[in-house]
Every structure is written in structure tokens, then in C-alpha cells.
Amino acid sequence: MILFPNAKINIGLSVIRKRRDGYHDIETVMYPIGLCDVLEYIEEKNSNQDSKISITYSGNISFTGQDICMKAINLLEESHKVPALKIHLLKNIPAGAGLGGGSSDAAFLLNSLNKTFAFGLTSDQLEDLSVHIGSDCPFFIRNRPSFVTGKGDKLQDLPAMLKGYFLLLLYPGIPVNTKEAYSGVIPEDKSYNLRELILEPVDRWKYYIKNQFEDLVFRKYPIIAEIKKELYDMGAVFASMSGSGSTLYGIFRTRVKIPAKFSSYFTHLELLTR
């Protein structure tokens, strides 16, 4: 079985409050994009050991938490018999970049194993299960434009408002630790109606919609703030940092040429189709 776990961007992100369980309640819009990893698994029917799992990696593997797929399997095995598997993950989505690559890998694997081996879990059950793997995982079970609240486990479907726009990602190779980022941001126990603002015309988002982590990350890494300015100078109708950083993205009406100054960055340009 070959899977293509895709990345996401955040459109707006606010930390509402810190929860008693150590997580934070957030408010954001998550939007699936085409950049993806490649995840392949096969059942080893002649394995001498029950439920023997092996995972290998290639590509952009300079990241921590490489066991997130194993974490998904271990969680699934608490209630279901997972057969022996040989898994290989080709990483294209940079880690620590606010694009949700690891969460997507785990969610896609969880979803696929459920279907392949007929475990019978519903989408709601998969979402409830996946939140124990990572806060972004429930989104990738659904994998549709969503208004996301709670600790990432409450999702409302949204229309595909960016279909037909071009997306440019610029990742300067500066990983931002998610836990540290959350510990440094000051929760704002209020909503600014992101659920309604996201339905405004895209070229008006820049006046109302903001990622709360930008102030924190921009102070520590001024180069990231400069990238956002550059995206607007290039003609983006909206530009933002995704997640807790440090990828910046720009939304454009037409295809753009990536400036040579960004040749040392991870870059990705695509026409959004959903």
C-alpha cells in the first residue's frame, strides 16, 4: 500500500487558553495542500513474530520524533491486532516547519490500516484516537479545509476558498520547537470570529487574520519577518507563518517566479486544487 500524506497550512492561529491537561485550546483554520511525503507498507505474512513492525526512512529525515508512525501503531494495537508490517517513509515535508508532516504521516497510516485490515473504526473514532498522537492528527483524518478549535480535536468543515490560487512556501531551515513556542505565547481568552472572517474575500484577510505566534518567532528570528514582507512585495494577496513556524507562505492570484535569493531555502509552489 502506498500513501501520500500531505501537508497543511494554518490560516490564522490564536491560543485561547491553557488547559488542565497541559494542552492549549486554539482557534485556527487548517487547509490541506499538495506537498506530501510518501509512505509505503506491506504485510509480512511469513514473519516469525506476531505484530513485528519495522520502519525505515529516507529523504528529509533530519528531524526528531521519527517514531510518530510507531506511536500510531502502538495506540491502535491497544484494541486491535496489527499484523507484521514493513514500512518505509520518504520524507519531503520539512519537520519543525509548521506544516504538520509528522501528524499527517501518522494519521494517514492510522486511516489506511483501519481500512486495509477492516478494524471497523468510524471517522469520529479515528479522530478521537488520533488526538492522542498529536494535536494536528484529527485534521488529517478528515483532510478537508476546517475551522479547528479545542486542542485540535474539534473540526468544522469549510468551503475550498483557496481553490485556483497559487501557494508559495518558503522554509528558511529554522526549526521552531512547538512546545517552546507554546510556552512563550500569552493566551488570549477571546475569539475574534475567525470562523466568519475566513469567509471574507482572500485579499481582505491581511487586515484581520493573524497568526499569534508571529510576534514571538519574528522577534527571535527577524529573517522570518523579512520573508513575510518579501512575499507581499512579490504580490501576495495574503501571507502568513504556518503553525508555530517557521514556514512562511504566500497566496497569489497568478503563478510567480521564486526569487534567486531563496535558492538556499526549501521552496514549494503549487496551484491549489481544493
- Catalytic site positions: 8, 136
DSSP-assigned beta bridge partners for residue 36: 6
Place of cell 529516507: 58
DSSP 259: P
Cell 486554539 belongs to residue: 26
* Nearest partner of 269 among 159, 165, 163, judged by Cα: 165
Distance of alpha carbon 203 from alpha carbon 253, whole angstroms: 10
CB 37 within 8 Å of CB 75: no
Residue 94 DSSP symbol: P
* Nearest-angstrom CA–CA distance, 112 and 73: 11
Instruction: Please state, in angstroms and as integers, the Cα–Cα distance from residue 267 to each residue in 75, 95, 168, following that order.
Output: 34, 14, 7
Contacts of 234 (CB under 8 A, 6+ apart): 168, 250, 252, 256, 259
Which among 263, 238, 255 has a CA at the least distance from the CA of 31? Answer: 238
Are the CB atoms for 259 and 234 separated by under 8 Å? yes
Which of 76, 68, 65 is closest to 126 using CA atoms? 76
- How many other CB atoms sit within 10 Å of the CB of residue 262? 15
